[in-house]
Structure 1
Amino acid sequence: MKNQISIIGMPMDLGQSRRGVDMGPSAIRYAGVVERLEKLGYKIHDKGDIEIGRPGMAEAESDTNLKFLKAVTEANTKLASAVNDIVESGSFPLVFGGDHSIAIGTLAGISKHYDNLGVIWYDAHGDLNTSETSPSGNIHGMPLAVSIGIGHPALTNIADYCPKVKPENIVIIGARSLDEGERLLIRDKGIKVYTMHEIDRLGMTKVMEEAVKYLKEKTDGVHLSLDLDGLDPSDAPGVGTPVLGGISYRESHLAMEILEESKIITSAEFVEINPILDEKNKTAEVAVALMGSLFGEKLL
């Protein structure tokens, strides 16, 4: 990893229906992320937060059931530009959410700099819904579909190119809540998925080693998109869509340690921390601890 890290906060809460996740970037900073990464020898540039518009709850879209499409598109366009500038500066992009719809902008800003960008999607959900398959119309359930070029053109064409990622360059880790449309898309596109069944059966070490090998052979950079609801709610309670039976705190540290050892991660984002639903900022502290492992923190 590069020795310079540039942080961007993305206080987006319009991609889902539970308020509070917009405070995620502040919670992560409050949990001491800058100090922790500086202790590891990194030079940190905190670029502040992307400004998010505040449309009224009654905002309507004439041609779609997607909630707050215009505002989500505009915010992710800003994020894509900011992330693009970070990559061009030679710094490591580290984005704090915000709901998972922000991955649309993150990947739009990163992928143009790689011929074959890989993605590790560490999440309880596939986020592969479209306006046709989504039960809710919430865009935070769609960013991975958008990034492979499936979805509303306002979203898929952010940064004026499409797609951002090839389906065969994606690995989903920790899935345990998939809608039927997502299952069909996974099978149709051949997306590699390690559900909790595989993690339980194979162990996290084997899962991560296989994922690293799979991506290392075909990509020239790998983005980590980590949704805190990938972890079990007992370890990360402050998330909007908790799903029981998730990845443990220790397994997640092991996963981050293996990624650090592999040297394949070239950008990252940590999303879906909702302080309103949290316990004394526990989930943000977990996120910061995992960042420590991802960036090389060792016990000895």
Structure 2
Amino acid sequence: MGDHRDIALISVSIDLGAGRRGVDMGPSALRIAGISREIEAIGHTVSELGTLTAGGLETTEAGDTSLRFLSEIVHVAEETHAAVSEGLSRGCTPLVLGGDHSLSIGSVAAVADHYRPQGGSIGVIWVDAHADMNRPRTTPSGNIHGMSLAVLLGHGEPRLTRGGASVRPENASVLGARDLDRAEKQLIRELGVRVFTMSEIDERGVGPCMDEALERASAGTAGFHLSFDLDALDPRIAPGVGTPVRGGLTYREGHLVCEKASRSGRLLSLELVELNPVLDDRNQTAELGVGLVASALGATIL
């Protein structure tokens, strides 16, 4: 069991950043799967900071096709930033339930802003089938959830980057990638972000890859944020995700990533995103997600 933490639980109900509907219902599915109960069973305390809800697709202006729903996503990012900041100011570990990956633009920025006045930067470990490093001029879809990490590294739409980066490339890693766009590959090389592809994980094992990601995320930082997109997992065990891609992490590999995050002692905050109950089978992906969160917060086999 891990050391006791106060967990600030925040739901962000948004699917406007995604190409397919349904991930706005992810937080409800995680709550139905018993996330609060599971966290308390490890010995932590849960403080509910409530649910943030984006405008509905039917009633929200899509706007620019290369930045779909920008205004509403900016608004939700600001609300998410405020909620995460509130949790941190209370001395809690923020746990954000999503929702599509555009919510990270608010959550990660809030963690970075919290530690910056104390002279600290933060690292990020982005567990995802995708790098989320498109920009408005390179995006094939206009879906902002595919731009989140680029934004956090200071690249992309100024209304999202707010004029700066939340994370330095040398402290950022993507783990589990297997679906990258050409322009993303170019930006990854330019910036020097470390991407652990599924090929590398197959060859080296997820343990050594995660150790390297932890080292990068912790080097000269106050700690790191874990952003876990459930599409990092193989769709055979996690069918209910926003953008499934074959050939992902196994059940045990997913848990090992989270267990190592916990054992590092450097985890500042975390989020679980892109759960789509519409595509799930009897809430199995949500139940798997609850188990992963528990592992990241110190649940152990023995």
Q: TM-score under structure 1 normalisation?
A: 0.95
* In structure 2, C-alpha distance between the alignment counterparts of 1:266 and 1:60, rounded to whole Å: 34
Counting only pairs closer than 5 Å after superposition, residues 41-60 of structure 1 correspond to structure 2 as: 41-54=43-56, 56=58, 59-60=61-62
- Structure 1 contact 97–272 (Cα < 8 Å) conserved: yes
Corresponding position: 1:125 with 2:119:
no
* In structure 1, C-alpha distance between the alignment counterparts of 2:104 and 2:296, rounded to whole Å: 19
**1:142 pairs with one of 147, 153, 156:** 147
Runs of 4+ in 1 over 3 A off after TM superposition: 55-58
* In structure 1, C-alpha distance between the alignment counterparts of 2:4 and 2:104, rounded to whole Å: 21
Match of 2:181 in 1: 179
Corresponding position: 1:288 with 2:293:
no
* In structure 1, C-alpha distance between the alignment counterparts of 2:270 and 2:104, rounded to whole Å: 10
* In structure 1, C-alpha distance between the alignment counterparts of 2:40 and 2:88, rounded to whole Å: 20
* In structure 2, C-alpha distance between the alignment counterparts of 1:130 and 1:215, rounded to whole Å: 23
* In structure 2, C-alpha distance between the alignment counterparts of 1:260 and 1:180, rounded to whole Å: 34
Task: Tell me the CA shift for residue 218 of structure 1.
Answer: 2.5
Q: Which region of structure 1 is more displaced relative to structure 2, 213-222 or 16-25? A: 213-222
RMSD: 1.4
Counting only pairs closer than 5 Å after superposition, residues 221-232 of structure 1 correspond to structure 2 as: 221-232=223-234
Match of 2:256 in 1: 254
Task: Tell me the CA shift for residue 56 of structure 1.
Answer: 3.4
Match of 1:99 in 2: 100
Match of 2:81 in 1: 80
Query: 1:60 and 1:97, CA in 2 relative to 1: closer, same or farther beyond 3 A?
Result: closer
| Runs of 5+ consecutive residues of structure 2 not aligned to the other structure | none
* In structure 2, C-alpha distance between the alignment counterparts of 1:56 and 1:292, rounded to whole Å: 35
* In structure 2, C-alpha distance between the alignment counterparts of 1:58 and 1:264, rounded to whole Å: 39
Corresponding position: 1:277 with 2:279:
yes
* In structure 1, C-alpha distance between the alignment counterparts of 2:290 and 2:48, rounded to whole Å: 15
Task: Tell me the CA shift for residue 81 of structure 1.
Answer: 0.9
Q: Which region of structure 1 is more displaced relative to structure 2, 210-219 or 30-39? A: 210-219
Query: 1:133 and 1:39, CA in 2 relative to 1: closer, same or farther beyond 3 A?
Result: same
Task: Tell me the CA shift for residue 215 of structure 1.
Answer: 2.5
Q: Secondary structure at the match of 1:151?
A: coil
Q: Which region of structure 1 is more displaced relative to structure 2, 49-58 or 234-243? A: 49-58
Query: 1:79 and 1:58, CA in 2 relative to 1: closer, same or farther beyond 3 A?
Result: closer
* In structure 1, C-alpha distance between the alignment counterparts of 2:154 and 2:218, rounded to whole Å: 23
- Structure 2 contact 172–216 (Cα < 8 Å) conserved: no
Match of 1:210 in 2: 212
- Structure 2 contact 153–165 (Cα < 8 Å) conserved: yes
Match of 1:200 in 2: 202
- Structure 2 contact 226–271 (Cα < 8 Å) conserved: yes
Cα deviations across residues 278-297 of structure 1 (Å, max 9, x unaligned)? Answer: 00011111100111111111
Counting only pairs closer than 5 Å after superposition, residues 142-181 of structure 1 correspond to structure 2 as: 142-157=147-162, 162-181=164-183
Query: 1:102 and 1:58, CA in 2 relative to 1: closer, same or farther beyond 3 A?
Result: closer
